[in-house]
Structure 1
Amino acid sequence: MPPKLAAVHSRPGVALYEVAKLHLREAIAGGLFQPGQRLPSTQELAKQLSVSLVTMHRALKELEEAGVLRRVQGNGTFVTEGGAGTLQKLRVSLAVQNTASFADYYHNRILEGITSAARESGVEVIIVPLNETPPQRCDGHLLLNPTAAQAERFLARAGSKPSIAIGAQLTNMGWIDIDNNDMVIRAINHLYMLGHRHIGFVGGDDETSNSRDRYKAFADHCAKWPEITPCPLKTESWQLTEKEVPKLQEILQRKRRPTAIIAGGYYLALEIYRVAASARLAIPTDLSLVGVDDPPSAGYLSPPLTTLRQPLSLTGQTALLRLREMVQNPGLRLRLVFQAELIARGSTARLS
């Protein structure tokens, strides 16, 4: 009797084809399908796993690209000779900024995605600072929000191992990112549809690419849209410094002050709530506000924050799974962009 697979079930934040792909890989690694053995048809596999043909086709295609399967036109899909060993225990490093804190929402959610995928796929993850040399026996590296210079120095110390940058689009390595340009455009369009034309931006010019990309996207988009009067405040980091608070207060007290602000990060949005209150401006009556990231507290602010929800956990999961594939097939290269979702709540309103 031919081997039969159990049905798979969706997992929060994980694409169904990734679940099906991992399930099939584990079946191969466990000996259910032997090297050289032909698999059931795509239609039969989709039926066994209770997924659509489209989902099953993508899972098989990616396993073929990872070297686990070999497809022969008109003859079927076969397990490769090395396919059964593709789930061997791997060890990868996660390199982070010295200032990064996994207590904050952004880093915590990405780490949650990485560790979740690591547990399910038998990968050991070691966290190291970006400015240090990783342990010698690492099969690959994940770099979280590196600058180009940091990535170059890290790779010079780490050697020629497969590597993926998370949150940075670099030329010398694979990367996975969330589209910061699209994120800012969504925020501007939302405010524009509510009648706002004098729009501010409070965001960082610090060393992380996310901050720079959002600030640049705001400036570029406003330059193409002459109806909008931009009012940016460039910050040094992910929160306002003592010098920057008076600058924001001055902007909000101008005769032609912005009627809406886009905050480049969640903690900056919290600062704007506070500074607006001190300037006697009510949100959203006097000032609409759009933030970035959607921790549970965003829905309990007064008023609840309109924000751009990034797929952070999915980003971490995908980075780990794709790095594992790159370790097993060094020729693979990753270039992947996710998009954020605008969550409209009470901090934005139509301009009266």
Structure 2
Amino acid sequence: MAQGRATIAEIAQEVGVSVPTVSKVLNGRTDVAEATRAKVEEALARHAYRKPVSGRPAGPRLLDLVFHQADNMWAQEIVKGVELVCGPARIGVVLSELGGSHRPPQEWIDDVMARRPLGVLLVLSGLDETQRHQLSSRSIPFAVVDTEGEQPAGVPTVGSNNWNGGLAATRHLLALGHRRIGVISGPADVLCSRARVDGYRSAHDEMGVARDPGLVRWGEFIAESGYAHGRDLLDRPDRPTAIFAGSDYQAMGVMRAARELGLRVPDDLSIVGYDDLPVTEWLNPALTTVNQPLREMAGLATRMVLTLAEGRRPPSPRVELLTELVVRSSTAPPPAI
């Protein structure tokens, strides 16, 4: 049998099951024994089987959108970007949330295969090798927005230049005269977290300013993390005069920590956030932050998936959009010593 050219009938004969059983596995049906399903999946992967696009069932046109966490304004911006593309095209959006995990469970994959959407868009999450093949073999394309780690070749991704964002934020603070700058980022194993901190470090290095490793903190992109690390940094006798937060939520947590410690922003402490969520210009003081074009990222990734669903390749499988520093009222020169 020629590898990569097997038919369903040939795979069924090789595994020793019926054609309907192979079809059930392909369609994500749950009424197949787990051991049988594993044998069929292994044969499908070995022959690089792909279900024809024409095999997609009639019914509502759907796009699966999956977040590692969706209960925040950051996720809302992504949803709006997806809806700006899907709404006019009359494509329904199925929203899933992974409770903080960066990898969906097999049950989620089974549900996706059963409803056969036009495609899948993963946000700050990804698929393992088996899951990627399971979707590919059913001709269900997928793309990743703001990837949590390096994706294998051929996986379409859309992100922003996180290193440049960290560089611009820290350059701004250094140009104001700050020399003790803390940074609070996301998880150390997440690509965008590391890139933002790398930009922070590069800004120090290019200006010949020494960096204190004790001012670098890794946490979560949530207000509670910014608050906890902010309290810890600002309680130090040699506290930083500025903090670059890896998200606007973290920056809001730092603002609360500063207020509780009697520090005024920006008189005593300058704060820079990241994302430029709509709420940041309404804070008091309005937050200086790095604009990450979330809606544009989501819209572009959605168009990538829909292009793949039509059997075409997107112009570029990997896109990195520009970030831009938005200076508002939360940053100023450091207080005189």
TM-score (norm 1): 0.66
Q: Which residue of 1 aligns with 2:330?
A: 347
CA 1:164–1:285 in 2, change beyond 3 Å: closer, same or farther? Answer: same
Q: Give yes or no for contact 1:288–1:348 (8 Å, CA) kept in 2.
A: yes
Gaps of 5+ in 2: 1-58, 98-103
- In structure 2, distance between residues paired with 1:299 and 1:189: 21
Give the match for residue 240 of structure 1.
Answer: 224
| Structure 2 Cα separation of the partners of residues 179 and 262 of structure 1 | 16
How far does the alpha carbon of each residue in 1:296-343 deviate from its partner, in whole angstroms, 9 at most, with x for none? 321222211111122111111111112211222344451111122211
The structure 1 residue matched to 2:79, chosen from 105, 111, 121, is 111
Give 3-state SS (helix, strand or coil) of 1:275's partner: helix
Q: 2:267 aligns with which of 264, 285, 293?
A: 285
Distance in 2 separating the partners of 1:311 and 1:237: 17
Residue 234 of structure 2 aligns with which residue?
252
Distance (whole Å) between structure 1 residues aligned to residue 201 and residue 269 of structure 2: 20
Task: Indicate how the Cα distance of structure 1 residues 337 and 316 shifts in structure 2: closer, same or farther if over 3 A, else same.
Answer: same
**Considering only aligned residues, what root-mean-square deviation do their CA atoms show, in Å?**
2.6
The answer as to 2:257 corresponding to 1:275 is yes
Asked if the contact 2:266/2:330 (under 8 Å) is kept, the reply is: yes
Aligned to 1:96: 67
Is 2:192 aligned against 1:210? yes
Deviation of residue 114 (structure 1)? 0.5
Displacement of 1:188 in angstroms is 0.8
Equivalent position to 1:197, from 169, 175, 179: 179
Count residues in correspondence: 258
- Secondary structure at the residue paired with 2:169? helix
One-letter code aligned to 1:105? M
SS at 2:88 equivalent: helix
- Using the TM superposition, give the Cα deviation of residue 214 of structure 1 relative to its aligned residue in structure 2, in angstroms: 2.2
Contact kept in structure 2, 1:145 and 1:166, CA below 8 Å: yes
Partner of 1:145: 124
Deviates more, 1:230-239 or 1:135-144: 230-239
Structure 1: which amino acid aligns with 2:124?
N
Contact 1:162 1:330 in 2 (8 A): no
Is the 8 Å Cα contact of residues 81 and 294 (structure 2) preserved in structure 1? yes
Q: Which amino acid aligns with 2:265?
A: I
TM-fit CA distance, 1:349: 0.5
Which secondary structure state, in structure 1, belongs to the residue aligned with residue 94 of structure 2?
strand
The one of 155, 172, 175 aligned to 2:132 = 155
- Secondary structure of 1:95 counterpart: strand
TM-score when normalising by structure 2: 0.69
Secondary structure at 2:85 match in 1: helix
Distance 1:112 1:207 in 2: 27
Equivalence for 1:32 = none
